[in-house]
Structure 1
Amino acid sequence: MAGLRRRMGGADLAAVPEVRHALRELLRHWQERDCAEVAELLMSELVTNALVHTERGAVVTATIADSRLRVEVRDFDAPPAGPPVAPVRAADDATHGRGLALVRSLADDWGIRARPLGKVVWFEMNGEAA
């Protein structure tokens, strides 16, 4: 199993391209290039959301096992009351707030899991390992 793990400080948006590059390196042996490019985009959206909307930073992990990529982005802010819910945005021309909509439409599977401190937003994609 191949993987990566990176911790990013709160509001450290400079970490987004660094983590994206690390994922690109991890996925460079996948035969399906389109899958890797989409995975980079989706991971960037989740990392950006975590860094913009939380104060204590985030940890991103990505693993490849049996031709399946799983990316998790964990934040450490106290969870809101009730179960986490992915927001649904009205269709408009704004580019802000579309990250989870992209994940929902482009990933093979995704979800949000509450943790004792924070939450994990994850997605999975199928691909062919080289």
Structure 2
Amino acid sequence: MPETDLWEYSLSIPNDLRAVTVCRRTLRLILTMHGLSGLVDVAELLATELIGNAVRHTKGPAALRVRCSASGVLRIGAWDADPSPPELPQPFTPALDREDGRGLALVRACADAWGWQPLSREGSRGKYVWCELDGVGAGRPG
């Protein structure tokens, strides 16, 4: 039986690094309006990494997708027009002199689940990289 969503939002963005800030602020507003302000910090970190990768590593448009299921799972995802798989995260070893290469390792470390899937429907190609935070209504502060 398909899971029912309580709510879902999608924000289409251009390939512009400034769009990462727009996504982060939009996500903060969405979560706050739904009484999930306790998730804002970790959700912003995850969305920033996913959308940042989509904008930095592809040439076309992208989209932020956020949904909350009836079972209390918050899914944050980034769509982009490039069907190539994301670079798999390496074990997280922070290098003080580097500012890149940590994105999916942070997602893996902070999210309860993550993954990706190629997309091809209605003439659109690309991929969807997502992560989830479980127990939105139960075990997490809100």
TM-score per shorter chain, which class?
0.7 to 0.9
Q: Which residue, 77, 82, 85 being the options, matches 1:72? A: 77
Residue 3 of structure 2 corresponds to which residue in structure 1? Answer: none
1:71-102 per-residue CA deviation (whole Å, 9 max, x = no partner) reads: 1101102x34xx65514267333231101000
Give the Cα separation in 1 of the matches to 2:100 and 2:76: 22
In structure 2, the CA distance between the partners of 1:90 and 1:118, relative to structure 1 (3 Å rule), is same
| Residue pairs, 1:1-130, within 5 angstroms | 1-10=6-15, 12-28=16-32, 29-30=35-36, 33=38, 35-66=39-70, 67-77=72-82, 79-80=83-84, 86-88=88-90, 91=93, 92-93=95-96, 94-116=98-120, 117-126=125-134, 127-128=136-137
Runs of 4+ in 1 over 2 A off after TM superposition: 89-93
CA-atom RMSD, angstroms?
Answer: 2.0
Amino acid paired to 1:4: Y
Task: Return the offset for 1:52.
Answer: 0.6
Give the number of aligned pairs. 124
Amino acid paired to 1:30: L
Give the Cα separation in 2 of the matches to 1:61 and 1:90: 26
Amino acid paired to 2:36: W
